Amino acid sequence: MSNLPAIIKSRRAVYPMQMNGESVPTSVIHEMLELANWAPTHRNTEPWRFKVYEQNAKDSLLDLCKECYVKTTPAEKFKSVKLDKIEKRKNQVSHIVAICMRRNEESAVVPEWEEVAATAMAAQNMWLALSESGKYGGYWSSSAYAMGDGFRNFLKLSDDERCLGLFYVGTIADTAVLTNGRRGDWREKVSFEK
């Protein structure tokens, strides 16, 4: 068997604070996106859409994140430390990928949840590609502010598209301590029927 089981088991969320700000090579980003494109898709609708932000565009996107957080967060839930965390990401992450989903004409016969699932599988492929490198990592954030109209306008999404979150990509810092994965016994979650 290949090393696929080890890659799957080693996939971890690498938080922006665990990234060192070094640029991820374009070739790695391209390979990650090519593998994302091979996710399963019912009726070949290929609903995933990705918008990749780097350098100044990344910083502008993070400024928008702060603006949307301020506008959409109720006063009782607002935390200024969140704005500081978003600002720090400018020096931590290399790229930000907006994970979007597009419903197309063929989707009329494909339930929306299948399109969301296909897009999530594409994101999982990106994560696995980074995990396999051992040097780069990613984190999928689905903050509420990224689902609002202000964000939607910034991303220039059409009526049949929606944002499912932001995927932060970066080089793992030497000082980062990644957690060991743990799962319960799969046998406790499976039944075999005859």
Q: What is the DSSP string of the chain?
A: --SHHHHHHH--B--GGGB--PPPPHHHHHHHHHHHTTS--GGG---EEEEEEEHHHHHHHHHHHHHHHHHHS-GGG--HHHHHHHHHGGGT-SEEEEEEEE--GGGGGS-HHHHHHHHHHHHHHHHHHHHHHSSEEEEEE--GGGGSHHHHHHHT--TTEEEEEEEEEEEBPTT--PPPP----GGGG-----
Residue 121, domain CATH = 3.40.109.10
Q: Is residue 191 part of a domain?
A: no
Note whether residue 107 is domain-resident: yes
Tell me the pLDDT tens digit for each residue of 137-161.
999 999 988 888 888 999 999 999 9
Mean pLDDT of the chain: 93
pTM: 0.94
Q: Evaluate whether residue 109 is within a structural domain.
A: yes
Give the per-residue pLDDT at 149: 86
The domain of 147 spans 10-177
Q: Confirm whether 186 is domain-assigned.
A: no
Domains identified in the chain, total number:
1
157-189 per-position pLDDT tens digit: 999 999 999 999 999 999 999 888 899 999 999
Evaluate whether residue 152 is within a structural domain. Answer: yes
Instruction: Give me the mean pLDDT over the 22-48 stretch.
Output: 96
pLDDT, residue 107, reads 61
Q: What is the pLDDT of residues 82-91, one digit of tens each?
A: 999 999 999 9
Residue 189 lies in a domain: no
pLDDT at position 1 is 47
Residue 37 within any structural domain of the chain = yes
Q: Is residue 190 part of a domain?
A: no
Percent of the chain, pLDDT > 70?
Answer: 97
Q: State mean pLDDT over 34-50.
A: 95
